[in-house]
Amino acid sequence: MSSALLKDTWRTSVRNWKRFFSIVVITTLGVAVLTGIYAGCRDMLLSADRFYDAQGLFDIQVVSSAGLTDDDVTALSKVEGVQTVQAEMSASVNTDVAGTSKSATINRIGGQGLNKSYLQEGVLPSKSGQIAVTRQFIVDSGLHIGDTLDVTASDTDSSSGAASAQGEPVFPGSYTITAVVLDPSDIANPEGYSTGAFRSNDAESYAFFVSSSSMEGSLYTAISLRVSDAEQLDTFSDEYSAKVQQVVSRIEDSVAPERQRARERQLTAQVQEAQRQAAADSVSDATGRSSAEASDESLSIPTVQWHVQNRSSITTYSNLKSDLSSIESIGRAFPVVFLAVAILMSLTAMTRMVEEDRGLIGTYLGLGYGKIAIITRYVGFALAACLLGGVLGNIVGFVGIPVFLMQVLKGLYVIPDVSLSFDPAYGLGGVALFTVGVVVSTLLACRGETSLTPAQLMRPKSPKAGSRVFLERFTWVWGRMSFLNKVTVRNLFRFKSRLLMTVGGIAGCTALIVCGFAINDTVQTLGSKQYSDIDRYDLLSVAASDETAAAMKERLADDGKVKSSVEVRVGSAEMLNAEGNSESIQLIVVPDGQDIAPMVDLRPASQGLGRMFGFAKAPSERPRLTLGDDGILVAQSAANAMGISGNSTVSLRADGLDQQKVKVQAVFRNVIGSDVFISQSLYESSFGVKEAGFVTNAVMATLNGDEDSQISYAQRLVKSSDVASAISTADMERSFAFDLMSAVVALIVVLAGCLALVVLFTLASTNVSERVREMATLKVLGFTDREIHLYVNKEMLILTLLGTLLGLPLGRVVGGMLTGVLDMPGMFFEVEINWVSYVISAAATLFFAFIVQFSTNMVLNRIDPVGSLKSVE
C-alpha cells in the first residue's frame, strides 16, 4: 500500500468510527459471551481440581459391606496404575447439636496424605482426644475451638453381621475441638445461601476428624487410592474419568472377586471359631445340637460386596460438576445467536461503507491501484475492529464475567484460592471465529463494488427502484391512509434486506431477553409447583431410626396438628441407569393398600415437542398415575438427567441393601428432588427384606393451621431425638432459591440488552446513511426536524414492533429448548414464562429502540442539506 492510500485508509476509518464502534462492541459482546461463562466455570473447576489435588482427594475409594483388612490394602496397592493407598477408618456416632441428637462420622486422618482436610482455623488434631470439625458443624452447633465435644457410638451397623465386630475402631467419647477444617469431599458452603434445598439429604451427617492416636482398630471402613498420573489431569475431564475407570475396572475384575471370597472365608472361619467356642462351653448340656446350629448360623454370613467408587460418589463433587456444566451449556447455546447477529451486522455495516465509497473505489481503480489494495482497506478496517473487540471481549470474558460468576459460586461452594486463568485455545479461537465471520462478510461486501469497472463505479449507482406494494391492491385501505403513511409503507418494502435484518436482529435480541426471563420465571415457579401442586402433604417427618418410628408416630398423633397422614418408608438410595451413571435419590416405599394420591399428585411427565414449546396438556388434565407392583415411579427431575423413561430398567442400591434391577413403570411430573416411589411388595420381593420385616419410618401429613404455624411445628418436631428430619413443604417453598441460575440469567439479559442496543444502533445509522440525500431533500423542501424524525422513525418503529412481536414467541421456543440443555440431577426445568416477562422484554426492546431513536434524531438534525446534495451519491 502506498502511503497516500494508507493515509486515506486511516481517514476513512476515523470518519467511519460509528461502524468501527458497532463491530468492536458486537465482537466484544460475542467473544465475552463465548468465553465468559466457559471461563468462569473453567476457573472454578480448575481451582477445585487444584484444591482436590492439594488435599490428595482419592481417585478411587473401595468400600465393602464387611469392612476391609490389611490384606485388602496390600492387594490393592499391587494393582497396576495405583500410586498410593490409604486405609480409612471411621465410625458412626451420635452427637448433640443444639439440643438434638444428630448423626456424625468420625474419620481417622490417614497416614498417606490422602483426603487431607484443609485447615481453616486452629491446629489439626495430633493427640488422642483432639478433634477437628467442619464449618457446618460450628454453624449448626454454636460450638467453638476449645469447646468439648461428646459423642456416643451409634449401633446401626447390622448388615455386616456379628462377626465383623472384631477389629472395629475403638475411640474415646469426649474430645476437645482444636480445628475447623474443610473436608475436600464436602465443599458446600454452609454459610452461603441455601441452594441445597432441592438436593439436601434428609439425613444430615457431620464429619469429624481425629488423629490416628484417637482411633484404633484393624478393620477399615474404606480404602482410598490415588491413580498414577491422574493428578496432572483435570479431574472433571473425560481423560481423567477414563484413566480412573481403567483402574476401577482392573480392581472390579480381578482384585475385588478374589478379596471378597477371601473375606467371606475369613468371616466364616471367625463364625466357626465363635461357634466352636460356644459349643465347647455348652458341650456338657447339649452335645448333639451344636453342629446343626453351626451350619445354620454359617448360612447367615452375608456375602461380601465391594463397591469401587470414583469421585462421582462425592456429592459436592457431582453437584459442582453438574451445576457448572448446566451453566456452561447455557454459555454454549447463546454465543451462536451472538455470532449470527455479528455476521449480519458487519455485513450490513461493511456493505454500506463500501457502497458509500463507490466513487472513491472507482477513482482508485482508475488510477491503477489493484483490487487487492482496495479490498485490504476494508478488510483491514473490519479486522482492526474485530481484533480490538476480541481483546476487549477476552478481558470481559476471562476477567469480568468469571469474577462475577465466582462471586455467586462462592456462596455455594468453598474452594480456597480460586484464581483466574486464560485459555488461549478458547480465547483466541473465539476471536478467530468472529474475525473469520466478519472478514468474510467484508469480502462479500467488497465483491459487489470491486468487480465493476472504474467507469461504472464513477457513475452514481442507480437508486433502489421503487415499486408498488401489495397493500396498494387493497384500494380501500390504501386510499384511506395518510400520505406519509403510504410513504412509510413504500419505504419498508423498498429496503427488503433492511427489513429482514432489522426484524431478524430485533427478534433475536428480544428472544434472548425472553429466554433470560424464562429461566428466571421457571426457577421462581419451581418451588410452588413442587411444594404446592405436586407435593400435597405439608410435612414429611422421618424417624431417627426404625426403633424410634413408633414414638414419632405417637407424638404426631398426640400433637393433634395432623389433618390426614400416610405412613411410608423413606430412605436414601442410588439409582443407576443402563449406562451405569448413578444418581442419589430418595426412595419412598408405599405400604401395600395405601393410597399415596392424597399426599402426592402423581401425573405423567410431559414429553417431546409439547414440552419444548409449552403447549403440553396441563398436568391436572393428565390421567393420574397409580403405583403398581411391577415397576417404580421415578420423578421427572431425577429421570431427565439420566435419560430414564417409562419401561426403562434401572438398578437401585438402597441403603444397606444390595443393588437390584427394577423396571420403571412411569416417569411422573416432578420438578425438584429425586423421589422414587416403590410399592411395598415390589420392595420386598426385589430386595428380599421380607424376613427382616417391613417397617414404615416416615409420615407424610397434611396439617392444620397456616403456613407459619406449619413451619414452626416442623421446627419443633425436629428437636425431638426420635425425629431425624421434619420437612415442611411451606418452608421448602419459601426457601427455594437458585441464585446461581439467577445470576447467569442477569448476565444474559444484560448482554442481550447490550446486543439489542448495538444492533438497533447499527441498523439505524446504516438506514440514515443510506438515505442522507432523501433526508436532505426533505429538509430543502422545508420539512421541520420533527417531521423528518417522524418520517424515519415510523419505519424503524414498525420494524422494531414487528421484530419484538416475532421475538416473543421465538424466545418461548428457545426457552423451551433450555429444558433439554439444563439437565441437572434433582431439578427439572419445566419452562414457564410469566406474561409480565413478555411485557418487560418487549418494553426493554422498545426502550432500547427509543434510545437509539434519540441518537438517530441527533444525527438527522445534523444532516446539512447543502453539503449532502452537492455531489452525486
Partner 1 sequence: MSYIQFDHVVKEYPSGEESIRALDDASFTADKGGLTIILGASGAGKTTALNILGGMDTLSSGTVKVDGRDISGLSRKEQTLYRRSDIGFVFQFYNLVASLTALENVELASQICPDHFDPRETLEKVGLGNRLDNFPSQLSGGEQQRVAIARAIAKRPKLLLCDEPTGALDYVTGKQILQLLQDISQREGMTVVIITHNTAISAMADKVIHFRSGRVYNSTDNPRPLPVAEIEW
Binding site for partner 1 (CB under 8 A): 460, 462-467, 483-484, 486-487, 490-491, 494, 773-774, 776-785, 787, 865-866, 869, 872
State the nearest-atom distance from the C-beta of 500 to partner 1, in Å.
Answer: 17
Query: CB of 729 within 8 A of CB of 539?
Result: yes
Residue 651 sits at φ, ψ, to 5 deg, of: -110, 140
Nearer to partner 1 by Cβ, of 449 and 770: the residue is 770
In whole angstroms, what is the distance from residue 714 CA to residue 540 CA? 9
What lies within 8 Å, CB to CB, of 265 at 6+ separation is none
Which is nearer to partner 1, 265 or 496 (by Cβ)? 496
The size of the chain, in residues, is 873
First to last CA, the chain: 26
Nearer to partner 1, 474 or 615 (CB): 474
Instruction: From residue 101, give the alpha-carbon distance in Å to each of 97, 139, 359, 718, 864.
Output: 6, 16, 87, 10, 84
Give pairs for 398-402: CB < 8 Å, separation 24+: 398/35, 398/36, 398/39, 398/422, 398/423, 398/427, 400/32, 400/36, 401/32, 401/35, 401/36, 401/37, 401/39, 401/40, 401/747, 402/36, 402/39, 402/40, 402/43
Beta carbon nearer to partner 1, 24 or 499: 499
CB of 9: closest distance to partner 1 in angstroms?
23
Residue that has been written with the C-alpha cell 476457573 in this structure: 43
Closest CB 870 distance from partner 1, rounded Å: 8
Residue with cell 454500506: 352
In whole angstroms, how close is the CB of 488 to partner 1 at the nearest point? 10
**Residue 345 Cβ vs partner 1, minimum distance, rounded to whole Å:** 24
CB of residue 482 to partner 1, shortest distance in Å: 9
Provide Rg for the chain, Cα atoms: 35
Identify the bridge partners of residue 586 per DSSP, sorted by sequence position.
Answer: 572, 675
Is the CB of 468 or the CB of 719 nearer to partner 1?
A: 468
CB of 474 to partner 1, least distance (A): 17
What CA–CA distance (Å, rounded) separates 372 from 361? 12
| DSSP SS3 for 628 | coil
Q: How near is the Cβ of 772 to partner 1 at its closest, in Å?
A: 11
- C-beta of residue 66 within 8 angstroms of C-beta of residue 302: yes
The set of cell numbers assigned to 284 is: 456338657
Only one residue has cell 488423629, namely: 211
Q: Which residues contact 425 (CB under 8 A, 6 or more apart)?
A: none
The amino acid occupying position 48 is: A
Q: Give whichever of 162 and 481 is closer to partner 1, judged by the CB atom.
A: 481
94-131 as b/e: b if 16+ CB within 10 A: bbebeebbbbbebbbbbeeebbbbbeeebebbeeebbb
Residue closer to partner 1, measured from CB, 476 or 483:
483
Closest by CA to 442, choosing from 488, 397, 381, 503, is 381
Residue number with CB closer to partner 1 (200 or 868): 868
Nearest alpha-carbon partner for 755 in 186, 405, 337? 337
Cβ 468 to partner 1, closest distance in Å?
A: 9
Considering the complex, state which of residue 50 and residue 461 has its C-beta at the smaller distance from partner 1: 461
Task: Report how far residue 753's alpha carbon sits from residue 353's, in angstroms, rounded to the nearest whole number.
Answer: 26
The answer to whether 151 touches 106, Cβ cutoff 8 Å, is yes
The smaller minimum CB distance to partner 1, of residues 472 and 658, is found at 472
Residue closer to partner 1 (CB basis): 447 or 464: 464
190 versus 865: smaller Cβ distance to partner 1: 865
Q: In sequence order, what are the residues at sequence separation of 6 or more whose Cβ sits closer than 8 angstroms to the Cβ of residue 858?
A: none
Residues β-bridged to residue 824: 827
Please list, in sequence order, all residues whose beta carbon lies within 8 angstroms of the beta carbon of residue 218, skipping any fewer than 6 positions away. 69, 70, 167
- Rounded Cα gap, residues 117 and 133, in angstroms: 10
CB of 158 or CB of 467, closer to partner 1:
467
Compare residues 707 and 774 and give the one whose CB is closer to partner 1: 774
The minimum distance between CB 770 and partner 1, in angstroms, equals: 11
Task: Report, in Å, the least distance between residue 831 CB and partner 1.
Answer: 43
299/465 with CB nearer partner 1: 465
Cβ-based nearer residue to partner 1, 71 or 785: 785
- By beta-carbon proximity to partner 1, the closer residue of 352 and 669 is 352
Nearest distance from C-beta of residue 491 to partner 1, angstroms: 5
Site of grid cell 455531489: 871
For the CB of residue 353, give the shortest distance to partner 1 in the complex, in Å.
21
CA distance 489 to 648: 58
Q: Cα(476)–Cα(469) distance, rounded to whole angstroms?
A: 14
Cα gap 675→318, rounded to integer Å: 18
Q: How far apart are CA 390 and CA 28, in angstroms?
A: 6
HSE on the CB side for 358, CA within 13 Å? 20
CB of 785 to partner 1, least distance (A): 8
How far is it, in rounded angstroms, from Cα 363 to Cα 354? 13
Quote the least distance from Cβ 393 to partner 1, whole Å. Answer: 39
Amino acid at position 823, single letter: D
Kindly tell me the sign of the dihedral angle through the C-alpha atoms of 226, 76, 319, 430. positive
Phi, psi for 238 (deg, rounded to 5): -70, -35
The three cell numbers locating residue 259: 478379596
Q: Which residue type does 221 have?
A: T
Smallest gap from Cβ 483 to partner 1, in A, equals 5
User: Would you say 78 or 862 has its CB closer to partner 1?
Assistant: 862
